[in-house]
A and B are shown apart, each in its own frame.
Chain A
Amino acid sequence: MGQVVLVTGVSRYIGGVLARRLAADPGVDKVIGVDVIPPPRDLGGAEFVRADIRNPMIGKVIAQGDVDTVVHANVIATPTFAGGRTPQKEINVIGTMQLLAACQKASTVKRLVVKSTAAVYGSTPRDPAMFTEEMTAKRLPSSGFGKDSIEVEGYVRGFARRRPDAEILTLRFANIIGPRIRTSITDYFNLPVIPIPFGYDARLQFFHEDDAIAALVRGVTGSTTGVVNLAGDGVLTVVQAAAIARRPFVMVPMAAAGPLGGLGKRFGLVDFSPDQMSFLAFGRGMDTTVMRTTFGFNPTFSTRAAFEDFARTVTPVVPSFDAVTGAVGGLAGVAQQVLGRATGGRL
């Protein structure tokens, strides 16, 4: 008897690929994918059920399917993809509340895996260099995705109190990046000119999309409980990442970041909330010892490799150093030849 897994948010990239991967897993009998819009991609062997996690009816899906493992991958990071900040918050907070209430009622549910985020640690100049799992944010994110994530984790803790028999695993992902996924951070590095807060050079950690799927599969099929930080090895700074993506950057004073962010949002270029602005100024690092030891997961991509894999899909704006020197050399050569012809080889 294998597992019956319910995956929320299958219409989004991570959820969809996860459902397909789980359906192919021999230890999993059945995968039920849930979302409000039909998935744009083939879910493979997974069964799609169109249901809203904000609706108590989600309990029926869990009860009828005899679901024993629930994967909550429907915490939306970018408001543009949810249709604005209000639906985003509703899906994240009310959705989690209803889903966990349904899980609490369903006696069949034995394991809950929550896809959380590093945003719960916030981002301030008073942060330690690396956050371990037991640390909390120095200043709680006051808005946006970070606040949602903190509330989501609060509900998960509440669920843990009421259902002490259930195994709960919270995975805090660093920014997931890769050639296929689209998030606010990929939008940001796709801008023709990357605005960077003046005088800051934040440390960033990335996690490759393939690693993210593999980690979620491991979280579902394994037996680890608790909280695990997931990030690739090493850090990149914003300036360095812009250089790797071959983008010019412009230093923007932090005071001007708000209006500029509003403009970017208006034109649909990028959607950045204030807590993400401070993330770009101060950055964040997560300690991944628990990921390697307790969780037993070794990501195949380091932070740098993950970003380079993403950067391959970005059209370079700045020519490479070789191209510049080649062009200069070529120009000089042409000039030299012209000069040589003009002087008749006397030079």
Chain B
Amino acid sequence: MATKPTAAKAAAKKAPATKKAPATKKAPATKKAPATKKASAAKRAAAEKATTTPKAPASSKKPSATSKKPSATSKKATPATEKKGTTTKTPVRRTSSVAAGAARASGERARRRSTPLLSAPPVETAAPATATPTSSTVPEPTTPAKSAAAAQAAANPSATSPTGRRSAHRPHPTVRAKASAKATKQAGIRPQSPRAKRAADEAARRHLRVATVPEPKPKPARPASPDPTATQTDMSLPVPGIEELLSASIAAMRMAAQGAGISPEEIERRIAATLAFVRRRLEGDYSVDEFGYDEHFAEHVIFPMLRPIYRNWFRVEVRGLENIPDEGGALIVSNHSGTIAIDSLMVAQAIHDEHPKHRVMRALGADLVFQTPVIGSFARRGGSTLATGDDVDRLFAKGELVGVFPEGFKGVGKPFKERYKLQRFGRGGFVSAALKAGVPIIPTSVVGAEEIAPIIGNMKTVARLLGVPYAPITPTFPLLGPLGLIPLPSKWIIEFGAPIETASHGTGAADDPMLVFDLTDQVRETIQQTLYSLLMQRRSVFF
């Protein structure tokens, strides 16, 4: 942008004033400084000797900066006295020192609150940060930088603005080559502090170290003799590794295991697996998919945790596994019951454990599930996601096996006398999602879950107070307190029915409400009939 002649004139008028300001202020201060300060000022002056602009030392205001290197002061005393001599030669400027100081202070203040510029002149150009040798050698960024800026303004009048005419007492802020700490902070840049730099270097070294270590995984040395004395014989090693400690402690555990009657190899394997697991969790060395499914956590925590309940408590019997495809999308639609919605976990466990491909069912949950702490994050880690069309479409596009329980809370919280009576299946959104993706629907029936916590009453006021869909009264809850939450050990049967094809209906079928309702009814009837037949086959509730 071309500078107008008026602006240049104004800048020229302003320039001496700005140049005068720091010099006049500094001169008496330096003269009056006590011996120690004078010495430090001398050091500063010596440091600034290389700079192009001769100006008074600015460090007398900053005693903190002065005590940095006291050893260097005596050597550089002579140039300081010379400089002092030159600065005291300007007695004319001393008259306006108060005014200049006020101007400096107000300029600083003006910059501090320079954000609302509504009254300030609109457009100002500045030289795009020409890094002068002055500012690059100045050690303290605050005060010397300002004087450097003033000197620069004096040397380069085109860089100054038309502000000078209207408010001469406000030094015009120009682009400084070196930013003040505050400006850097405000601009959202993290200054690389020496500490941070050290940390970065250390981090780099650490990575190097990790790369060079061949196998840091603390697996117990299997070939090592189980005899603890065998490892302790090689005491020539300066610092024995973790293996020796582990083998010693594992040897102790083997003996304990032999006493308890468990295979020692099994114990050894489990400890190694646990340590490997803990290591990966602590280092964040696992991946989470876009829905929050954490395969590492699910395979090592959730499924192993549920397996004893699945096998020994409910003794789940699975039928019709061949109806679940080995790959590609499919929609599992199941009844929902049992007060605590553990049936969805058991269906997922059945598919994961018994299906030849060990597929993971991605269950769909209500928003209340993901709103609840702990349960919500566990559900996401276990592969669940919110029951919305967007998520289902996305899961089918990835060829996932999706599980849906369309009865929702109506099914889980229904009274015991209505057991095995399917509730309304919502609006059939799951059917239209399956139609859209063209995936088969697998009607699934779960028998046994109704009896794990029979609801004999519902505390509606409590439920309303807590903001939950139902607050059940069962024979054991809330009578026994937390113990009442333990489900009764009923015998379960899960049957996966024959898949209902949806691909043949073609595109656009998902928007046909008649077809959607028909299919929903078909699925619902299939599940209901299977439930009745399974109940007929069942010998008793608990066996």
A residues touching B (Cβ–Cβ < 8 Å)? 11-13, 16, 36-52, 54-55, 57, 60-61, 64-65, 78, 81-83, 87, 90-91, 125-130, 132, 135, 179-183, 186, 197-201, 203, 234-237, 239-244, 254, 282-283, 285, 304, 312-316, 318, 320-322, 325-326, 328-330, 332-334, 336-337, 340, 345, 347
CB of B17 to closest CB in A, whole Å: 20
B512 located at the interface, meaning its Cβ lies under 8 Å from any Cβ of chain A in the complex: no
Given the interface pairs A48-B129, A183-B188, the reply to whether A40 lies near B242 with Cβ below 8 Å is no
A-facing mask of B6-36, CB < 8 A → 1, else 0? 0000000000000000000000000000000
Which of A13, A87, A315, A326 is close to B196, meaning CB atoms less than 8 Å apart?
A315
Q: From B237, which residue of chain A is reached at the shortest CB distance? A: A333
B173 located at the interface, meaning its Cβ lies under 8 Å from any Cβ of chain A in the complex: yes
A129 to B118, CA, bound (A): 44
With A13-B189, A244-B284 given, can you name 9 additional A-B contacts, CB distance below 8 Å? A51-B117, A125-B370, A129-B390, A179-B200, A200-B376, A237-B294, A312-B204, A315-B199, A329-B244
Chain B residues with CB below 8 A from A42, complex form:
128-129, 131, 177
Which of A45, A78, A135, A201 is close to B377, meaning CB atoms less than 8 Å apart?
A201
Chain A residues with CB below 8 A from B370, complex form:
125-126, 282
Which of B199, B286, B376 is close to A199, meaning CB atoms less than 8 Å apart?
B376
In the assembled complex, 14 residue pairs joining A and B whose CB atoms fall closer than 8 Å, in A order, are A38-B173, A38-B175, A48-B129, A51-B117, A51-B123, A60-B123, A83-B186, A199-B377, A235-B288, A315-B199, A325-B216, A333-B245, A334-B239, A340-B235
B481 located at the interface, meaning its Cβ lies under 8 Å from any Cβ of chain A in the complex: no
A237 to B185, CA, bound (A): 28
- Residues 236-251 (chain B) with a chain A CB within 8 angstroms: 237, 239-245, 248
Chain A residues with CB below 8 A from B124, complex form:
49-51
A1 to B164, CA, bound (A): 36
Chain A residues with CB below 8 A from B385, complex form:
129
A90 to B386, CA, bound (A): 37
Residue in A45, A125, A183 with the greatest tally of chain B CB atoms within 10 Å: A125
A208 to B190, CA, bound (A): 15
A-facing mask of B219-255, CB < 8 A → 1, else 0? 0000000000100100101011111110010000000
Q: Decide: B373 and A336 in contact? CB cutoff 8 A.
A: no
A48 to B127, CA, bound (A): 8
Q: Decide: B229 and A12 in contact? CB cutoff 8 A.
A: no
A241 to B285, CA, bound (A): 10
B260 located at the interface, meaning its Cβ lies under 8 Å from any Cβ of chain A in the complex: no
A160 to B246, CA, bound (A): 68
Q: Decide: B374 and A241 in contact? CB cutoff 8 A.
A: no
Q: From B179, which residue of chain A is reached at the shortest CB distance? A: A40
B176 located at the interface, meaning its Cβ lies under 8 Å from any Cβ of chain A in the complex: yes
- Residues 115-136 (chain B) with a chain A CB within 8 angstroms: 115-118, 120, 122-126, 128-129, 131
**Number of B interface residues in the complex (CB < 8 A):** 86
Q: From A236, which residue of chain B is reached at the shortest CB distance? A: B288
Q: Decide: B1 and A127 in contact? CB cutoff 8 A.
A: no
B292 located at the interface, meaning its Cβ lies under 8 Å from any Cβ of chain A in the complex: yes
Chain B residues with CB below 8 A from A242, complex form:
284
Which of B114, B188, B216, B218 is close to A12, meaning CB atoms less than 8 Å apart?
B188
Q: Decide: B288 and A57 in contact? CB cutoff 8 A.
A: no
Q: Decide: A180 and B189 in contact? CB cutoff 8 A.
A: yes
- Residues 263-301 (chain B) with a chain A CB within 8 angstroms: 279, 281-284, 286-292, 294
Chain B residues with CB below 8 A from A333, complex form:
237, 239-241, 244-245
Chain B residues with CB below 8 A from A199, complex form:
372-377
Given the interface pairs A181-B189, A240-B288, the reply to whether A36 lies near B117 with Cβ below 8 Å is yes
Q: Decide: A81 and B123 in contact? CB cutoff 8 A.
A: no
Q: Decide: A55 and B373 in contact? CB cutoff 8 A.
A: no
Which of B123, B241, B242, B290 is close to A203, meaning CB atoms less than 8 Å apart?
B290
Which of A47, A183, A304 is close to B1, meaning CB atoms less than 8 Å apart?
A47
Chain B residues with CB below 8 A from A330, complex form:
239
Given the interface pairs A55-B117, A243-B282, the reply to whether A81 lies near B290 with Cβ below 8 Å is no
Q: From A281, which residue of chain B is reached at the shortest CB distance? A: B373
Chain B residues with CB below 8 A from A322, complex form:
209-210, 213, 216
Q: Decide: A52 and B117 in contact? CB cutoff 8 A.
A: yes
Which 3 residue pairs of A and B lie closest in terms of their CB atoms, listed nearest first?
A199-B373, A40-B179, A57-B122
Q: Decide: B288 and A40 in contact? CB cutoff 8 A.
A: no
CB of B158 to closest CB in A, whole Å: 13
Q: Decide: A130 and B390 in contact? CB cutoff 8 A.
A: yes
CB of A133 to closest CB in B, whole Å: 13
Q: Decide: B291 and A332 in contact? CB cutoff 8 A.
A: no
Count A/B pairs, Cβ under 8 Å: 255
Q: Decide: A312 and B117 in contact? CB cutoff 8 A.
A: no
Which of A41, A52, A180 is close to B190, meaning CB atoms less than 8 Å apart?
A180
CB of B424 to closest CB in A, whole Å: 21
Q: Decide: B179 and A130 in contact? CB cutoff 8 A.
A: no
Given the interface pairs A81-B188, A201-B377, the reply to whether A87 lies near B115 with Cβ below 8 Å is yes
A41 to B111, CA, bound (A): 18
Given the interface pairs A52-B118, A237-B288, A336-B232, the reply to whether A312 lies near B200 with Cβ below 8 Å is yes
Which of B115, B176, B287 is close to A83, meaning CB atoms less than 8 Å apart?
B115
Which of B125, B196, B245, B386 is close to A49, meaning CB atoms less than 8 Å apart?
B125
Given the interface pairs A12-B188, A240-B284, A322-B210, the reply to whether A50 lies near B200 with Cβ below 8 Å is no
CB of B26 to closest CB in A, whole Å: 24
Q: Decide: B122 and A39 in contact? CB cutoff 8 A.
A: no
Q: Decide: A130 and B394 in contact? CB cutoff 8 A.
A: yes
Which of A181, A316, A336 is close to B203, meaning CB atoms less than 8 Å apart?
A316
Which of A237, A244, A337 is close to B292, meaning CB atoms less than 8 Å apart?
A237
Chain B residues with CB below 8 A from A16, complex form:
187
Q: Decide: A128 and B388 in contact? CB cutoff 8 A.
A: yes
Q: Decide: B190 and A186 in contact? CB cutoff 8 A.
A: yes
Chain A residues with CB below 8 A from B525, complex form:
none
B312 located at the interface, meaning its Cβ lies under 8 Å from any Cβ of chain A in the complex: no
Q: Decide: B188 and A203 in contact? CB cutoff 8 A.
A: no
Chain B residues with CB below 8 A from A127, complex form:
386
Chain A residues with CB below 8 A from B122, complex form:
51, 55, 57, 60-61
CB of A335 to closest CB in B, whole Å: 9
Chain A residues with CB below 8 A from B125, complex form:
47-50
Chain A residues with CB below 8 A from B286, complex form:
240
Chain A residues with CB below 8 A from B185, complex form:
81, 182
Chain B residues with CB below 8 A from A329, complex form:
239-245
B89 located at the interface, meaning its Cβ lies under 8 Å from any Cβ of chain A in the complex: no
B169 located at the interface, meaning its Cβ lies under 8 Å from any Cβ of chain A in the complex: no
Q: From A285, which residue of chain B is reached at the shortest CB distance? A: B290
Q: Decide: B394 and A337 in contact? CB cutoff 8 A.
A: no
Which of B240, B242, B284 is close to A241, meaning CB atoms less than 8 Å apart?
B284
A-facing mask of B297-315, CB < 8 A → 1, else 0? 0000000000000000000
B195 located at the interface, meaning its Cβ lies under 8 Å from any Cβ of chain A in the complex: yes
Q: Decide: A125 and B367 in contact? CB cutoff 8 A.
A: yes
A55 to B1, CA, bound (A): 20
Q: Decide: B195 and A315 in contact? CB cutoff 8 A.
A: yes
Given the interface pairs A46-B128, A47-B128, A322-B216, the reply to whether A200 lies near B373 with Cβ below 8 Å is yes
Chain B residues with CB below 8 A from A182, complex form:
185, 188-190
Residue in A181, A283, A329 with the greatest tally of chain B CB atoms within 10 Å: A329
Chain B residues with CB below 8 A from A337, complex form:
235, 240
B479 located at the interface, meaning its Cβ lies under 8 Å from any Cβ of chain A in the complex: no
B44 located at the interface, meaning its Cβ lies under 8 Å from any Cβ of chain A in the complex: no
- Residues 409-427 (chain B) with a chain A CB within 8 angstroms: none
A128 to B292, CA, bound (A): 12
Q: Decide: A13 and B240 in contact? CB cutoff 8 A.
A: no
CB of B252 to closest CB in A, whole Å: 13
A129 to B293, CA, bound (A): 11
A198 to B237, CA, bound (A): 46
B380 located at the interface, meaning its Cβ lies under 8 Å from any Cβ of chain A in the complex: yes
Chain B residues with CB below 8 A from A347, complex form:
229, 232
A5 to B444, CA, bound (A): 61
B391 located at the interface, meaning its Cβ lies under 8 Å from any Cβ of chain A in the complex: yes
Q: Decide: A13 and B187 in contact? CB cutoff 8 A.
A: yes
Given the interface pairs A37-B114, A337-B235, the reply to whether A181 lies near B190 with Cβ below 8 Å is yes
